[in-house]
C-alpha cells in the first residue's frame, strides 16, 4: 500500500499532539517535523543521562538491569550490549501482524514522548523515528505480547528493533523487507543505542493510546450514522418523533442525548410519511396517533447520547495522555532521574473497555430496529421480511441473522479486559492493565458496529422505498441516504445475492458516505 501524501504537516514540538494529528500521520501518511527547540531540549536532558552514566552509583535503566534484574550493576563496557539485548529480548510478539495505522500511531506517540525531553534520548534517536515515519517504514508488530504495563513493551520493542536495523518491516508500498535493507534504501542510518535509550523506546502506553485515538475518530462518524439509521427506521416504521422534542429531552440534561435528539429532529423534518399519522386537534395542536413507540425507537437519543458522552469522556482521557511524558525512569524538569509508575495503562484501558460497552449497546439497539421491519406483527403493513413475494422470497430475513450474530459477538467483546491481571517479571510487575487487549477488542467491536448499522441502513432504505411507493415522500435527510444506497444496491425486488449488497453499504458507513449524504441534505449534524 503506497503511503498517502498529506498537506497536513504534524509538528512535534514538545506540545501535546491532538487526536487529529495522530489520525493524520497514522492513517493518511502526514509528514512529521521536529522543531529546533525540541532537538535542543533533547540535548539538554541527554546531558543529564550521560552524567549519571559516569556515576559509580547505580541508576536504574542507565547502569542497571531491568525489571526483576534491576539490582545488577552493569559496567560501562557492557551497556551497549545491555540496550541491544533489552530490545531484542522484548521484541517477543506473536500472532498476526497489527494494522499499519496502529503501528504508525505507536511510532508517532513514542516520538512525541521523546520530544518532551523527559526520556533522555539523544536527538539522533528522535530524528530516526521521524525519518522512518516519513519514509513509510512500518515495523512488523504482532497481535500478542503486551500486557499494558510496563506499557506496550513488546510492540514498542519491535519498533525499536527495526530502528536498529533488525527485524522485518513493511516499506511504503507494503512490501515485507528486512529492516536494515529498508533503512538503507531510505538513507537512514541504523541506531546504535546508548545508555537508557532501549528502555526509553519501549516503556510507554503508545499502542493502546494510538488505537484509542483512531477509535475516537471513527466513533464520531459511527454515532452520527447511528442517528441517521434510527431516523430512517422511525420514519419507515411509522414511529413518532414526539419523544425527541427539545423540551422533553432537556428534562434530562445530558449533552449527548440533546445532540442525538437534535439530529433526529433535523433528519425527520418535512417527512410526509411522518405527517401521514399525525392529526390536528380542535385546539389547533398537532398530535401523532402513535401514542408510544417501542424503546428501540423512542429511546434512541438516550442510548446514542450516552455513547456520545462516553466518547467525550474517553477523549478527555486521550487528551491528557497525549500531554503526558511516559517513561521509567524519567528525567525531571529539574534534572533528576526518577523511577515512577506512569507507564501503567489503567487510565487508557478503562476507557477502551467503557467504549466497547457503549458500542455493543448502540449495535444492540440498531439490530432491534432492524428486526421490527421484518416482523409483520410490528412493521405496520410492510410485507414479511420485506420480501417481494413472501414464501418464494425470503427478503432480508437472514440479514437480521447477520446483525444478530454480530451483536452477540459485540457483547462478548464488551467484557472488560482491564479487570484482568496476570503477574509477570518474577512478580516485580504483579499488576498489569491489559490495556492493549482492551484496544484490540475495541477495534474489532468498531468493525462489528459498522456492519450492524449497515444492515439497518440497508433494511430501512428498502422499507422507505415501500412507503414512498404509496405516494408518501420521505424526509430530505433520510431520503438522501436512501438514494445513496440505491446508487450501490438495487431497490425492492426478487431475492438477489445479499452478501455483496450488505458489504456495499458497509463501505458507505465506514467511509462516512452515509453521514455526508445526510448532512448535504439537511446541514451539519452534531
Each of the 526 residues of the chain gets a pLDDT tens digit; together they read 334 444 589 999 878 999 999 999 999 999 999 999 999 999 999 999 888 887 778 777 777 776 666 677 777 877 778 889 999 999 999 999 999 999 999 999 999 999 999 999 999 999 999 999 999 999 999 999 999 887 899 999 999 999 999 999 999 999 999 999 999 999 999 999 999 999 999 999 999 999 999 999 999 999 999 999 999 999 999 999 999 999 999 999 999 999 999 999 999 999 999 999 876 556 656 666 666 899 999 999 999 999 999 999 999 999 999 999 999 889 999 988 888 998 999 999 999 999 999 999 999 999 999 999 999 999 999 999 999 999 999 999 999 999 999 999 999 999 999 999 888 887 878 888 989 999 999 999 999 999 999 999 999 999 999 999 999 999 999 999 999 999 999 999 999 999 999 999 999 999 999 999 999 999 999 8
In the block, which residue shows the cell 506517540?
Answer: 109
What are the cell numbers at 8? Answer: 497536513
Ordered structural domains, the chain, with CATH: 10-204 (1.10.275.10), 213-238+313-522 (1.20.200.10)
Residues 6+ apart with CB under 8 A from 320: 347
Measured CA to CA, the distance from residue 325 to residue 332 in angstroms comes to 10
What are the cell numbers at 245? Answer: 422534542
Query: Residue 144: in which H helix or E strand, if any?
Result: strand 142-144
Is the CA virtual torsion 429, 430, 432, 437 positive or negative?
positive
What 3-state DSSP class applies to 379? Answer: coil
Measured CA to CA, the distance from residue 400 to residue 402 in angstroms comes to 5
CB atoms within 10 A of CB 47: 13
In the block, which residue shows the cell 500521520?
Answer: 25
Measured CA to CA, the distance from residue 85 to residue 88 in angstroms comes to 5
- Give pLDDT tens digits for 191-241: 999 999 999 999 999 999 999 999 999 999 999 999 999 999 999 999 999
What are the cell numbers at 333? Answer: 524538569
Look up the pTM and report it. Answer: 0.94
What are the cell numbers at 357? Answer: 460497552
Residues 6+ apart with CB under 8 A from 394: 385, 387, 495
- Give pLDDT tens digits for 368-415: 999 999 999 999 999 999 999 999 999 999 999 999 999 999 999 999
Residue spans of beta strands (DSSP E) within 264-389 = 278-280, 286-288, 330-331, 337-338
Return the pLDDT at 67. Answer: 64
What are the cell numbers at 256? Answer: 449527548
What distances in angstroms separate CA 165 from CA 78, 159, 179, one per listed residue? 20, 10, 5
Residue 329 preceded by cis peptide, ω within 30: yes
Return the pLDDT at 68. Answer: 61
Measured CA to CA, the distance from residue 118 to residue 121 in angstroms comes to 8
In the block, which residue shows the cell 491528557?
Answer: 320
Q: Which of 60, 129, 144, 295 is catalytic?
A: 60
Torsion of CA 125, 26, 20, 217, to 10 degrees: -140
What are the cell numbers at 7? Answer: 498537506
Enter the DSSP assignment of 175. -
Enter the DSSP assignment of 164. T
Return the pLDDT at 449. Answer: 98
Q: 179-209 burial string, b = 16+ CB within 10 Å, else e?
A: beebbeeeebeebebbbbbbbbbbbbbbbbb
Measured CA to CA, the distance from residue 106 to residue 207 in angstroms comes to 5
Residues 6+ apart with CB under 8 A from 142: 93, 94, 95, 96, 97, 98, 154, 155, 158
Measured CA to CA, the distance from residue 24 to residue 21 in angstroms comes to 5
Measured CA to CA, the distance from residue 275 to residue 453 in angstroms comes to 26
Measured CA to CA, the distance from residue 20 to residue 467 in angstroms comes to 41
Pick the closest to residue 199 from 349, 74, 321, 316 (CA basis). 74
Torsion of CA 200, 3, 311, 230, to 10 degrees: -160
Bridge partners of residue 393, in order along the sequence: 390
Return the pLDDT at 7. Answer: 56
Measured CA to CA, the distance from residue 307 to residue 515 in angstroms comes to 17
What 3-state DSSP class applies to 72? Answer: coil
Return the pLDDT at 72. Answer: 77
Residue 295 catalytic?
A: no
Length reported for the chain:
526
Pick the closest to residue 246 from 232, 260, 228 (CA basis). 260
Residue 150 preceded by cis peptide, ω within 30: yes
Bridge partners of residue 10, in order along the sequence: 32
Return the pLDDT at 3. Answer: 42
Residue spans of beta strands (DSSP E) within 293-372 = 330-331, 337-338
Pick the closest to residue 116 from 208, 204, 9, 211 (CA basis). 204
Return the pLDDT at 472. Answer: 95
User: Please, are residues 359 and 307 in contact by the beta-carbon 8 Å criterion?
Assistant: yes
Measured CA to CA, the distance from residue 249 to residue 258 in angstroms comes to 6
Amino acid at each position: 500500500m503506497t503511503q498517502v501524501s498529506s498537506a497536513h504537516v504534524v509538528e512535534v514540538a514538545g506540545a501535546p499532539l491532538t487526536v487529529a494529528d495522530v489520525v493524520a500521520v497514522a492513517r493518511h501518511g502526514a509528514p512529521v517535523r521536529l522543531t529546533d527547540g525540541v532537538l535542543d531540549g533533547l540535548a539538554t536532558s541527554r546531558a543529564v543521562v550521560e552524567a549519571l552514566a559516569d556515576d559509580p552509583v547505580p541508576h536504574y535503566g542507565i547502569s542497571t538491569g531491568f525489571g526483576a534484574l534491576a539490582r545488577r550493576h552493569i559496567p560501562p563496557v557492557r551497556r551497549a550490549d545491555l540496550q541491544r539485548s533489552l530490545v531484542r529480548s522484548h521484541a517477543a510478539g506473536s500472532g498476526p501482524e497489527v494494522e499499519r495505522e496502529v503501528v504508525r500511531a505507536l511510532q508517532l506517540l513514542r516520538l512525541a514522548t521523546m520530544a518532551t525531553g523527559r526520556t533522555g534520548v539523544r536527538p539522533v534517536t528522535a530524528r530516526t523515528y521521524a525519518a522512518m515515519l516519513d519514509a513509510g517504514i512500518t515495523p512488523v508488530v504482532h497481535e500478542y505480547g503486551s500486557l499494558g504495563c510496563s506499557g506496550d513493551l513488546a510492540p514498542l520493542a519491535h519498533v525499536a528493533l527495526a530502528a536498529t536495523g533488525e527485524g522485518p518491516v513493511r516499506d511504503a508500498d507494503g512490501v515485507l523487507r528486512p529492516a536494515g535493507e529498508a533503512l538503507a534504501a531510505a538513507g537512514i542510518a541504523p541506531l546504535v543505542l546508548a545508555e537508557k535509550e532501549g528502555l526509553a523506546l519501549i516503556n510507554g502506553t503508545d499502542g493502546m493510546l494510538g488505537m484509542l485515538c483512531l477509535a475516537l475518530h471513527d466513533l464520531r462518524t459511527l454515532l452520527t450514522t447511528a442517528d441517521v439509521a434510527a431516523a430512517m427506521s422511525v420514519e419507515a416504521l411509522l414511529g413518532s418523533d414526539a419523544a425527541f422534542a427539545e423540551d422533553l429531552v432537556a428534562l434530562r440534561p445530558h449533552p449527548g442525548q440533546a445532540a442525538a435528539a437534535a439530529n433526529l429532529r433535523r433528519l425527520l423534518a418535512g417527512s410526509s410519511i411522518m405527517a401521514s399519522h399525525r392529526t390536528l386537534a380542535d385546539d389547533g395542536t398537532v398530535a401523532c396517533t402513535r401514542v408510544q413507540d417501542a424503546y428501540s425507537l423512542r429511546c434512541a437519543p438516550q442510548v446514542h447520547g450516552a455513547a456520545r458522552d462516553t466518547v467525550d469522556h474517553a477523549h478527555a482521557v486521550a487528551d491528557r495522555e497525549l500531554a503526558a511524558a511516559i517513561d521509567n525512569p524519567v528525567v525531571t524538569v529539574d534534572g533528576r532521574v526518577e523511577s515512577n509508575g506512569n507507564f501503567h495503562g489503567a487510565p487508557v484501558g478503562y476507557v477502551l473497555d467503557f467504549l466497547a460497552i457503549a458500542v455493543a449497546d448502540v449495535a444492540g439497539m440498531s439490530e432491534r430496529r432492524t428486526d421490527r421491519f421484518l416482523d409483520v406483527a410490528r412493521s405496520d403493513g410492510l410485507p414479511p421480511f420485506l420480501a417481494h413475494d413472501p414464501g418464494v422470497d425470503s427478503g432480508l430475513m437472514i440479514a437480521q441473522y447477520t446483525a444478530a450474530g454480530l451483536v452477540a459477538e459485540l457483547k462478548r467483546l464488551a467484557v472488560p479486559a482491564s479487570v484482568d491481571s496476570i503477574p509477570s517479571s518474577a512478580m516485580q510487575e504483579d499488576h498489569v492493565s491489559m490495556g492493549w487487549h482492551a484496544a484490540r477488542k475495541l477495534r474489532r467491536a468498531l468493525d462489528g458496529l459498522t456492519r450492524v448499522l449497515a444492515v439497518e441502513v440497508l433494511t430501512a432504505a428498502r422499507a422507505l422505498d415501500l412507503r414512498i411507493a404509496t405516494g408518501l415522500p420521505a424526509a430530505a435527510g433520510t431520503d438522501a441516504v436512501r438514494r445513496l444506497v440505491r446508487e450501490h444496491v438495487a431497490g425492492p425486488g426478487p431475492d438477489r445475492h445479499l452478501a455483496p449488497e450488505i458489504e456495499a453499504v458497509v463501505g458507505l458507513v465506514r467511509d462516512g458516505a452515509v453521514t455526508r449524504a445526510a448532512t448535504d441534505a439537511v446541514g451539519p449534524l452534531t
